[in-house]
Amino acid sequence: MNPVRKWWIFACLIFATLMFGFSAQADGHTTVTFGLESPKSLDPATNSNDPEILFQRTIYDFLLEASVDETGGTVFTPNLATDWQISEDGLTYTFELREGVLFHDGSTFSSADVVHTFERLVEMGSPANALLGDFSVEADGAQRVVFTLANPNADFLFGVSSRWSLIIRDGNANPGVVAEDGDDPYQNFNGTGAFILSEYIPEVSASFIANENYWQEGSPGIENLVFQFINDATTRVNALQNGEIDAIFKLSIQQLRELEVHENVKTYVVATNQHPVIRLRSDAGFAGENPLVRQAFKLATDRELLNDDLMSGVGTVGNNDPIGPVYGSFYHPLAASYDYDPERSCALLAEAGYEEGYSGTLYVVDAFNYSDLGVALQEQWAQACIDVEILVRPQNIYYGNNEWMEVELGITGWGSNPVAQQYLVQAYVTDGVWNESRWSNAEVDALIAEASVTSDIANRATIYSRISELFAEDAPIIVPWFAPMIGATTARVEGFNLAAFAGLTDLRTLSIAN
């Protein structure tokens, strides 16, 4: 273990012990404390929820950063890779790597680490593979790495910059696992990132110290960072108001209204493609297997009213597909109308064999205002021969234990991604790793595959238009709205650039007002 790192971690452990339990204000001008739900998986290759992603992004770096600009286009920014070239046939991607970068243990970052990271993504069956496609990777010297693709892939750079593609040290087979033996329990959390993990107490907190050898000049802007794990959303809001923590995100509209009048709180609202998906299992043995039942649920749902009542009208009413207006020309208005028609819903259910209507359990994740959404749906659906009981589930259990993938009827929150294709390849192709509804449509599969090799914007927009039509006609999902991402900090926090996908918020820019 690097002696300097060992000394710093020891010092930070003492500091963390002394400070734990005090308010953020008592920490002076050194620490920013986030209120988050407790993470479950700390392996970058398999993360699924915002607390996990933010935890990992704090420790590790990407080759490239991807973001959506104001026109709906994607911007790639150098990070551990300083430059990249794509061959004319689209099959070879060559990345030049940043020199002089150190891992937290003092070892030097090189092409071997990139090769290890991406080969491991394949071995782990990471969701990143849906964007990366079929590839091989090899080092070309210490500061260059070459990816060779089996087929052209218009989304390959999105895979390289996906939230699972954080660079880990060559030879680290267990990233995110606390070591049981040795004098460094956090040796598997060895990244090049701006912060070094100094203490992790599952379900309680995680503490980080600034990486004094970080490659980006002037970063990070704070000396200490704490994640305080608070699973209840109301408790997090109260803690922020009381100055016990400094920052939270994934707030509901109601919480925004509460906090924006607080004199010591700053609020942030970012346009995103974040959306809830109301979905039915459509595989054999489930009600959604019948297309008539899928249509009945759409006719039983008044999306305009849901947006007005639950989002105060600030959301964009959804189609019945996951591509929203932040993607510019890739977004298409409703291809087929499903106005609220409870009588028609009852008739379709009866035609499908549900003469007495549908009854079941609606699983709702405890995030944003999704509990309220569940209640509103229960009321709307009751008029349309759909009777449901509501079961509210904590985020870290619902997602962390993959419960959301198994239930028949549920509400799932989907964060905002820099590329629209990411939703399609992960959740809506037949063999998608997160195909929670088990929907299988051969034409949709073919169109998604076609889009993956179509880099021309106009041509890809045409493909997405047809996909939108097929979602409206056949898919077992309802997207009631596309919502902004909402966060809040205490007044002393500066440089908080809330990301559309909250877990990807870059904490390197944080600072504290003098």
Count CA within 13 A, CB hemisphere, residue 119: 17
Residue 96 pLDDT exceeds 90: yes
SS (HEC) of 381-417: HHCCCEEEEEEEECHHHHCCCCHHHCCCEEEEEECCC
Distance CA 89, CA 148 (A): 11
The share of the chain scoring above pLDDT 90, in percent, equals: 78
Identify which of 253, 266, 323, 307 has the alpha carbon closest to the alpha carbon of residue 467. Answer: 323
Q: pLDDT-based confidence at 40, cuts 50/70/90?
A: confident
pLDDT of residue 85: 97
Distance CA 63, CA 365 (A): 33
pLDDT of residue 476: 97
Indicate where the chain has its CATH 3.10.105.10 domain(s).
273-483
* DSSP-based three-state secondary structure for 290: coil
pLDDT of residue 336: 55
Residues with Cβ within 8 Å of residue 385, at least 6 apart in sequence: 296, 300, 342, 345, 346, 349, 350, 354, 356, 357, 358
Residue 468 pLDDT exceeds 60: yes
Q: pLDDT-based confidence at 437, cuts 50/70/90?
A: very high
Least-confidence region, from 96-105, 230-239, 324-333: 324-333
State the amino acid at position 126 in one-letter form. S
Residue 196 pLDDT exceeds 80: yes
SS (HEC) of 262-284: CCCEEEEEEEEEEEEEEEECCCC
Residue 7 pLDDT exceeds 50: no
Q: Which two tokens stand for residue 268?
A: 């942030």
Contact present, 422 and 162 (Cβ < 8 Å): yes
- Report, as an integer, the average pLDDT of 183-193: 94
Residue 16 pLDDT exceeds 70: no
Residues with Cβ within 8 Å of residue 109, at least 6 apart in sequence: 80, 97, 98, 101, 102, 103, 167, 192
Indicate where the chain has its CATH 3.40.190.10 domain(s).
3-59+180-270+485-512
Q: Which CATH homologous superfamily contains domain 64-160?
A: Dipeptide-binding Protein; Domain 1 (3.90.76.10)
Give the architecture (CATH level 2) of 3-59+180-270+485-512. Answer: 3-Layer(aba) Sandwich (3.40)
Q: pLDDT-based confidence at 401, cuts 50/70/90?
A: confident
User: Diameter of the chain by CA atoms?
Assistant: 73
Distance CA 4, CA 27 (A): 24
Contact present, 8 and 21 (Cβ < 8 Å): no
pLDDT of residue 82: 98
pLDDT of residue 367: 86
Instruction: Identify the H or E element spanning 478.
Output: strand 477-478
pLDDT of residue 430: 97
In total, the chain counts a number of residues equal to: 514
The 8-class DSSP code of residue 102 comes to B
Tell the CATH topology of 273-483: Dipeptide-binding Protein; domain 3 (3.10.105)
pLDDT of residue 72: 58
Residue 417 pLDDT exceeds 90: no
- Report, as an integer, the average pLDDT of 240-256: 94
Q: Which two tokens stand for residue 156?
A: 């390959």
Contact present, 195 and 509 (Cβ < 8 Å): no
Indicate where the chain has its CATH 3.90.76.10 domain(s).
64-160
Q: Rounded to an integer, what is the distance from CA 171 to the centroid of its chain?
A: 27
Distance CA 62, CA 442 (A): 35
- Report, as an integer, the average pLDDT of 424-428: 95
Contact present, 20 and 200 (Cβ < 8 Å): no
Least-confidence region, from 23-27, 146-150, 273-277, 408-412: 23-27
Residue 126 pLDDT exceeds 70: yes
φ/ψ of 212, rounded to 5, equals -70, -15
- Report, as an integer, the average pLDDT of 249-262: 92
Residue 10 pLDDT exceeds 90: no
Mean pLDDT of the chain: 91
Q: Exposed/middle/buried for 357, CB within 10 Å: 0-12, 13-18, 19+? A: middle
End-to-end, the C-alpha distance of the chain in Å comes to 36
Work out whether strand 247-249 and strand 358-365 pair parallel, antiparallel, or are unpaired. Answer: unpaired
Least-confidence region, from 133-137, 291-295, 338-342: 338-342
Write the pLDDT tens digit of every residue in 328-345.
Answer: 888 887 655 678 999 999
Identify which of 34, 43, 35 has the alpha carbon closest to the alpha carbon of residue 400. Answer: 43
Q: Which two tokens stand for residue 261?
A: 């009048």
For residue 513, the tally of other CB atoms under 10 A from its CB is: 10
Residues with Cβ within 8 Å of residue 402, at least 6 apart in sequence: none
Q: Which two tokens stand for residue 264?
A: 């010591």
Please tell me which residue, 24 or 436, carries the higher pLDDT value. 436
Q: pLDDT-based confidence at 319, cuts 50/70/90?
A: confident
Residue 26 pLDDT exceeds 70: no
Contact present, 331 and 323 (Cβ < 8 Å): yes
- Report, as an integer, the average pLDDT of 76-92: 96
The 8-class DSSP code of residue 108 comes to B
- Report, as an integer, the average pLDDT of 179-191: 90
